[in-house]
Amino acid sequence: CISALSRYTQWDFIALVEKHGIAYHEKTAGQLFCDDSSKDIVAMLLKECEGAGVQVQTHCEIASVSVEDGFRIRSNKGSLVSQSLVVASGGLSIPKMGATGFGYQLARQFGHTVLDTRAGLVPFTFTGAMHELTGRLSGISTPATVSTGDVAFTEDILFTHRGLSGPAILQLSSYWSPGDEIHIDLLPGRDAVDVLLDAKQAQQKSLLRTVLGTVLPRALVGELQLLFWAELAETPLTEIADDTLTRIAKGLKHWTLKPAATEGYRTAEVTLGGVDTAELSSKTMESARQPGLYFIGEVVDVTGHLGGFNFQWAWSSGWAAGQVA
């Protein structure tokens, strides 16, 4: 689907935002946010629809879709016939907002392959002692590198009353499978061994928690102390052997955890899987199974990273289909 992305780029969307006079600013990693509210984007899209003569019907439940000299859509508000049908029904994420599997059902009806779906960009949950630990640290965040397999992300992690969240965790969740371990580097970009050994020379009478409390949240350091050096809690650095400090440093750089699960579709920002892209035109998003049928956005098996990439996929795929549908 690279073709669709290249036909309507982020610069095209930014130009549309500027045309409507919406002020925005850039945060980290090139992410753009409205100065006022995301409602400005919704209003912009509705204004564009109005200008194009689009009729919006809400509370409209589709009962069936069939092909009868075009597409016949039967709903609780009557029937209509069209030569093109664009499915932009999204995935399963955040069902309280109305998310359903309707798009997948329709795809299967017309012979499409729907790849297995699961929650993506979603927090992890834990059980037992780790669940209790994250609960005690709920609301605390810190920069970290998190990894599973060969995939790693360096951003903030956030402790919650259920487990772990934050940008780095959300990113990693899309690559995690149940039963997999995750690894957390609490001092990204720093040699933890050097940090501790240097502190031993410069701050001989200091406690380990005092030194680490200058680079990590103190509440987190308190929990790490219980995990990695409880028996040395009141021991000055100068009395701790170098190999012991090295072991502790490795624990801080490679904290290994096994999530119990994710929070699931309830809080997931995206749905992984969906309509197989191999059965769609990468230029127009038209079905290879049924002429005039198009699938766009999250219902398709395309998932981007956190930070607006999934919105851009919605704009690009929608624009590509809209040129021909």
Dump pLDDT digits (tens) for 127-181: 999 999 999 999 999 999 999 999 999 999 999 999 999 999 999 999 999 999 9
Q: What is the CATH number of the domain that holds 275?
A: 3.50.50.60
Q: What is the pLDDT of residue 123?
A: 99
Whole-number pLDDT of residue 28? 74
Structural domain ending residue among the three candidates 213, 235, 262: 262
Sequence-distant (6+) residues with CB within 8 A of 269 are 93, 120, 121, 122, 170, 306, 310
**Residue 27, pLDDT score:** 84
Mean pLDDT of 26-45: 90
pLDDT grade for 278, boundaries at 50, 70 and 90: very high
Let me know whether 115 and 182 are in one domain: no
Instruction: For residues 273 and 256, state if they share a domain.
Output: no
Region 272-280 average pLDDT: 98
pLDDT at 319 over 90: yes
* 205-225 mean pLDDT: 96
Block residue for tokens 């990439």: 309
* Residue 136 and residue 258 in one domain: yes
Rg of the chain over Cα atoms, rounded to whole angstroms, equals: 25
What is the separation of C-alpha 308 from the centre of its chain, rounded to a whole number of angstroms?
Answer: 10
CA distances from 129 to 123, 145, 224, 323 (A): 18, 22, 13, 55
- Per DSSP, the residues of 77-139 read TEEEEES-EEE----SS-GGGT--SHHHHHHHHTT--EEEEEEES--EE--HHHHHHHHHTTT
Predicted TM-score (pTM) of the model is: 0.92
Both 152 and 217 in one domain: the answer is yes
Confidence of residue 183 (pLDDT cuts 50, 70, 90): very high
Average pLDDT over residues 54-63: 93
| One domain for residues 142 and 91 | no
Q: Band of the pLDDT at 209, cuts 50, 70, 90?
A: very high
Same domain, 228 and 277: no
Domain with 258 in it: 123-262
The CATH number assigned to the domain holding 168 equals 2.40.30.10
Question: Count of domains in the chain?
Answer: 2
User: Among 262, 281, 312, which residue terminates a domain?
Assistant: 262
Are 59 and 130 in a shared domain?
no
**DSSP state, 162?**
S
- CA 149 to chain centroid, in Å, comes to 18
pLDDT of residue 1: 74
Query: Is the per-residue pLDDT at 29 higher than 80?
Result: no
CA–CA separation, 296 and 293 (whole Å): 10
Please tell me the predicted confidence (pLDDT) of residue 176: 98
> Quick one: which of 126, 127, 103 has its CA closest to 115?
103
For residues 116 and 123, what is the distance between their CA atoms, to the nearest angstrom? 20
Instruction: Say yes or no to pLDDT of 248 above 90.
Output: yes
Q: How far apart are CA 252 and CA 189, in angstroms?
A: 12
